[in-house]
Structure formats: structure tokens, C-alpha cells
Amino acid sequence: MTTRYTFGGDEHLFVECSDEMSLEAFFKGLSMAKGVRESGIKGVTEICPANASFQIKFNPDIIKPDDILREVKAIEGAAEKAEPVIKTRIVEIPVFYNDPWTHETLMRFRERHQEPTGTDLDYAAKINDYSSVETFINAHSGSPWFVSMVGFVAGLPFMYQMVERQRQIEVPKYLRPRTDTPKLTVGHGGCFGCIYSVRGAGGYQMFGITPMPIFDASQSVSYLRDFMVFFRPGDIVKFKAIGREAYDQAVEDVDTGKFSPPIREVSFDLREYQKDIDGYNAKLEGMLYGH
């Protein structure tokens, strides 16, 4: 894992911790981003963590590009030695898989897809060697996911599946991006899952929809009153498959302010996780459901 530094014009320093995705690369980026924030380097205006990289926006009238490069490089060593442990939270997100709205949309854009017959779920199950859509959904909702980046559009989480690499779901993006995706679609592209926070263009395969808003500019949703964006990098997500009835009920509960997602504070230790992934996940799930 070699860290690469490069400038994005005269206002951005771009730091790539690894060219391939891994939780190690994510943790290194997160740790370095934290180090930059805590060191209070003058002229830094924004720090954006991403999956295996991060970006710093700076004001070159205040700090010269060479100087910020030197200061950030100096942080790398300490960040590498930092304990890969974060205090975070685990949240349960209900998903109505194979729902009518993403189904209608995927049919509308079928000519842009790898497989003109069948659905995105059929295709993803097949190329990931699952015997049926049902077993694929079981795998998708069976393990937790790590939010490794928030962005693209407002509040959209990129999620990394917490299983061994050979078990991770991988799918290509649409051949040509769609011009429409229903709000709150649960999608997947490359090795990343996502939830579309707003309606709009998109290229990820569509698996289902959640009734739980994750971005609300009006801040009227009860759990988004303090801040309009739900997710933060480092959050852990556990999907729960629900049917139409539970979906409709949840939508109604959101509208009446009664919906509150199950959330627990947890500490995540990358080394412990790597020693026994399934065991560690079971423990996390135990904390989420309080048993």
C-alpha cells in the first residue's frame, strides 16, 4: 500500500492511500484526515475522506502548495501507527427488495443494461454465483456494511460489504447511466453498495428501496432535525429485508414522526474484525439488537 500525493489544481491536495479498495486503506485515509484536522494546518478549508483516498481543499494565498504537501506527508507516519479503532454506530436500515418502483425504473432503462431480459437482481445473483434472487438477498442483508464515503450527491453513503473479499458482491455499473433513479434506491456498483439519497441520474444496479429518508433539506424528518444528512464515514449498516406491508407502515411512520431507526454506539477494531470476520459481525449484530 503506497500513498500517492498529487495536486488537484492550485486549491486541492489529493492523497491516495491505495489504488485498490480495502478497509486498511480506508482506515489509513480516515486516520490521516483526522490527523490533518487535529493538527490545524493553516489554510485548510475542507477535508473530504473517501474510500481509499482523501482530499484537502486549501487556500494557496495562506499556505503554499509545497508547504501543505510537506505538512500532510509528516502526518502519514503517525497515522500509520495509529490504532485502527473507531467509535462509531451501527444502524438497521429496512429494505424492500424487488420493489415495484425500482422495478418500473429498471424496465424503463433496460436497453442501457448488460442483460436486456430479467432484472438487476437476477443479473447480480447470476454473475455472483447465487442460485436464486432469494439467496442473493439473504447474502446482501446477511452481513453488515461499512460506510466508507459519503458523497457523490448530498448524503449518499458508499458502503463496503463486511465479508472476505472473495465473498463480496461485485457488479458492473449500467452500460450507460440512467437519467432517473427513485429516491432511496439501494444500489450496487463495483464492490460498493449505496443508497441514493435523492432522485436523479445513476449507474448502479438497483436492488430495492428503503422507506427511511437519509437526507432532508427541510429537516422535517424527526431524526434529521439536528442535521439534514444522516450518514457519516465509519457508520456500520445492517440491512433488514421487509415486505410491502412493513414498507408502507414505515413510510407512514416517517410521515407522522414515529419512525426511529435502531441505532447503537459501538467501537470498531479493525484487527479484531480481521481475525474473525463472521464472529465479529455477529457480535456487532448482538449489540444492535441488544442480545
Partner 1 sequence: MAIKVLHHGLATTVQDLGRPGYFHLGIPVGGAMDRLAMRAANLLVGNDEGAAGLEAVFMGPKLEFTEDALVAVTGADMPAKVDGVVQPGWTAFKVKAGQVLSFDFLKSGARIYIAVSGGIDVPVALGSRSTYPIGALGGYKGRPLAPGDELPVGAGSLASEGRALAEEYRRKPGTPAALRVLPGLYWDRLTDEAKDNFFADEWKVAPEADRMGYRFRGGRKLSFVERKQPFGAGSDPSNIVDSCYPYGSIQVPGGTEPIILHRDAVSGGGYFMVGTVISADMDLIGQLQPHTPARFVKVTMEEALAARAERAGLLERLRASLN
- Please identify, using beta-carbon distances, which residue of 49 and 208 lies nearer to partner 1: 49
- Please identify, using beta-carbon distances, which residue of 64 and 258 lies nearer to partner 1: 64
Task: For the chain, list the strands marked E by DSSP.
Answer: 4-8, 12-16, 44-49, 53-58, 85-97, 145-150, 157-161, 185-189, 192-195, 205-209, 236-241, 263-269
Least distance in angstroms from the C-beta of 151 to partner 1: 4
Q: Is 56 helix (H, G, I), strand (E, B) or coil?
A: strand
Return d(Cα 22, Cα 2) in angstroms, integer. Answer: 13
For the record, the C-alpha cell of 191 comes out as: 464492490
- Please identify, using beta-carbon distances, which residue of 52 and 212 lies nearer to partner 1: 52
- Please identify, using beta-carbon distances, which residue of 98 and 197 lies nearer to partner 1: 197
10 Å CB burial of residue 265 (0-12, 13-18, 19+) is: exposed
- Please identify, using beta-carbon distances, which residue of 2 and 131 lies nearer to partner 1: 2
Least distance in angstroms from the C-beta of 21 to partner 1: 3
Helices 23-39 and 65-81 pack at an angle, to 10 degrees, of 120
Binding residues (CB under 8 A) for partner 1: these are 6-12, 14, 16, 18-22, 45-55, 57, 60-61, 65, 149-156, 158, 165, 172-173, 189-192, 197-198, 200, 215, 217-218, 228-229
Least distance in angstroms from the C-beta of 28 to partner 1: 13
Least distance in angstroms from the C-beta of 106 to partner 1: 19
Least distance in angstroms from the C-beta of 50 to partner 1: 5
Q: Do the bridges between strand 236-241 and strand 85-97 make them parallel or antiparallel, or are there none, so unpaired?
A: parallel
Return d(Cα 75, Cα 15) in angstroms, integer. Answer: 12
